[in-house]
């Protein structure tokens, strides 16, 4: 998969999203990241990429032409076509389901805004979709782009050493939160490990994990729990 990042700080995204699983995905040739700086496509001595908003008011707005040139350059790379995504607090919320969907693409172009945002005409003409990473405002799209790169990279086949681990994560499968996890040491002043995890009884361990996942989803994120469609066995676990 190839991801192009259009940003005033493209190297920042690659750096933030360059470690651990994402770094490994890149080393394994599963993902390549390419940065494009609109300043390199801006005209004049000052290579200006922003200007004051029409109608007045605070802040600056990113100009059409430097961004358009960047998008055209990114689009020209192979394999075509590329899906162009603008990171924006006004976009659709980024979810695990969206990460899975994007992970299936061979190309993405991520456009990072700064200042008050981007000239609306550029967005209307060039952007396929807008994605938000949450209901808060960042000063730039770079951290949001890094979030998307990370979530999408770890879903590339072969990126995780154990593909099962992604399947068991929160929001995957039937959308529950993950169960709690424990590791050595067995005995610790902070508490004991649930004995069922030491039993070697795989059916009992699976049952315990399912019950934990259901219980903590119910407590922490009841909005994720589709009680109507729970199986009879899940209902019984939840009511135990």
Query: Is 152 annotated as ligand-binding?
Result: no
Query: Is 137 annotated as ligand-binding?
Result: yes
CB 156 within 8 A of CB 27: no
Beta carbon of residue 233, minimum distance to ligand SAM (angstroms, whole number): 39
In angstroms, rounded to a whole number, what is the distance separating the alpha carbons of residues 163 and 165?
5
- Residue 172 falls in the annotated catalytic set: no
> Of the listed 48, 53, 83, 89, which one is catalytic?
89
Beta carbon of residue 86, minimum distance to ligand SAM (angstroms, whole number): 7
- Residue 234 falls in the annotated catalytic set: no
Place of tokens 């990042």: 5
- Residue 239 falls in the annotated catalytic set: no
Site mask for ligand SAM (CB under 6 A), range 144-183, x = bound: x---------------------------------------
Cβ closer to ligand SAM: 143 or 238? 143
> Of the listed 105, 116, 130, 178, which one is catalytic?
116
Residues near ligand SAM (CB under 6 A): 87-90, 112-114, 116-118, 132-134, 136-141, 144
């Amino acid at each position: 998969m190839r991801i192009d990042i259009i940003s005033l700080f493209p190297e920042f995204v690659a750096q933030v999203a360059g470690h651990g699983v994402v770094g490994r995905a890149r080393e394994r040739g599963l993902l390549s990241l390419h940065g494009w700086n609109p300043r390199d496509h801006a005209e004049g001595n000052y290579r200006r990429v922003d200007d004051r908003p029409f109608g007045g008011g605070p802040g600056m707005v990113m100009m059409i032409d430097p961004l358009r040139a960047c998008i055209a350059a990114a689009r020209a790379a192979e394999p075509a076509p590329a899906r162009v995504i603008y990171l924006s607090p006004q976009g659709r919320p980024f979810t695990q389901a969206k990460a899975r969907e994007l992970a299936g693409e061979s190309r993405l172009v991520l456009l990072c805004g700064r200042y008050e945002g981007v000239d609306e005409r550029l967005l209307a003409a060039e952007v396929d979709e807008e994605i938000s990473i949450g209901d808060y405002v960042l000063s730039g799209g770079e951290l949001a782009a890094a979030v998307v790169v990370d979530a999408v990279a770890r879903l590339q086949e072969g990126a995780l050493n154990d593909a099962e681990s992604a399947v068991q994560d929160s929001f995957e499968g039937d959308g529950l939160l993950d169960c709690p996890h424990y590791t050595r040491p067995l005995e610790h002043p902070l508490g004991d490990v649930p004995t069922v995890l030491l039993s070697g009884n795989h059916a009992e361990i699976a049952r315990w994990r399912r019950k934990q996942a259901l219980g903590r989803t119910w407590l922490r994120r009841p909005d994720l729990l589709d009680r109507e469609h729970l199986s009879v066995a899940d209902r019984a676990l939840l009511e135990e």
